Amino acid sequence: MQAWLKAAADRLDVSAIRLAEQSLARRYPALALDFLVWEHLPRPVDYPEVSAVPRLGISWCSRCLAEGFANDEPAYVRQQWVLAASGFCHRHRWPLEDRCNACGSLNWRFATPARGPLRMICGACWRPLERASVSTLDAEKAARACWDHAITFELQLMGAMAGKTPDQFRFNFTSASQLLDQVRDICSLLNRSPPGHDHWGGRTRAIALNDFACDAITPGMRDYRFLSYDEPNPLATATPLLRRCLLAAAHAIIDSDPGTTTALFGPDAPPAIDTFVAGMNRELLDSYPAATGHWSPTFTRQIEAAKQRRRRRSTLAKFKLRRFAGNTAFAEV
Ligand SMILES: [Zn+2]
Ligand SMILES: [Zn+2]
């Protein structure tokens, strides 16, 4: 038995075996570390004495907290709240949050009030975190169908993390690990600054993710534009808001059903895989996938077909431009 597990079991006064049974590793045997959310990425550093201790980044569902409080139960962190494959509470089908809805602070803590159960409260204004966001409540009616669509994909990812083969009607010939690899790579590509980008400070809003705006996924923040983040898996440190946007885009890109693009990005949106390939730097896109078998054969084929459509469109555009230039020259004679 690992020493930390035993120490935690002693501190919490539960049996170590019972604690191990509740662990994420047990429930999600295929869980990769970058599919957990971290406050800081755990990585080897040159100066360990000044590096931050890796801690899980916790978001929460205000409805779970409100329900617990109403039932006089102590507040606790659900496993799903630290998984990078979810931006929603699947029990309440409600967006997860990571800041106080009253003052916007990211600081929170557990607190034992004079009366009533243990609560999660804001560390800045001391209000309890079970207050729902007003903009989310306002958006709920119109956004619900879109949220439900996004949640179906999150459930597939959570299944893949538990080693379950994805739905083969949706994700043809795709294994659990291929689905996770595809999501990781797509999220990285969506968030990556284009090569040659030399903006001072290194971050830019000229990233492919910003071609996938969906107001239902970002309630109260119309046309929100994200900054680049050059990491192998941006989901690992993303806020729930960024997570939802990345996962919604990845969902529509991987799932070839046109209904998915329509449900998430509207009836006029072109196929998400075409938007993805069109907005992506060629050099960057061609460098993926790193190895054969990393992506499923179906997805590799779909990406190749989208690249071909892009080439055809660009040849056609050049031809039209030349013909236009020719007509103008003729008119001037
Ligand atoms: Zn909930
Ligand atoms: Zn607050």
Distances in whole angstroms, Cα of residue 261 to Cα of each of 164, 302, 322:
25, 15, 34
Q: How far is the CA of 227 from the centre of ligand 2 (A)?
A: 25
SS3 (DSSP) at 100: coil
Q: How far is the CA of 213 from the centre of ligand 1 (A)?
A: 25
Q: How far is the CA of 61 from the centre of ligand 2 (A)?
A: 16
Closest ligand to residue 102's CA: 2
Closest ligand to residue 96's CA: 1
Cα–Cα–Cα angle for 155, 158, 162, nearest 5°?
135
pLDDT tens by residue, the chain, 333 residues:
678 888 888 988 889 888 888 888 888 887 888 999 998 776 665 666 666 677 899 999 999 999 999 999 999 999 999 999 999 999 999 999 999 999 999 999 999 988 899 999 999 999 999 999 999 999 999 999 999 999 999 999 999 999 999 999 889 899 999 999 999 999 999 999 988 777 667 788 999 999 999 989 998 888 889 999 888 899 999 999 999 999 999 999 999 899 999 999 999 999 999 999 998 988 889 888 877 889 999 999 999 999 999 999 888 777 777 776 666 665 555
**Residue holding tokens 């046109």?**
258
Closest ligand to residue 92's CA: 1
Closest ligand to residue 60's CA: 1
CA distance 209 to 214: 11
- Omega before residue 54 within 30° of 0, cis: no
Q: What 8-state DSSP symbol labels residue 50?
A: G
168 Cα distance to chain centroid: 22
Give me the phi and psi of 174, to 5 degrees please.
-115, 125
pLDDT at position 49 is: 64
**Residue holding tokens 């993805």?**
276
Closest ligand to residue 129's CA: 2
pLDDT at position 4 is: 80
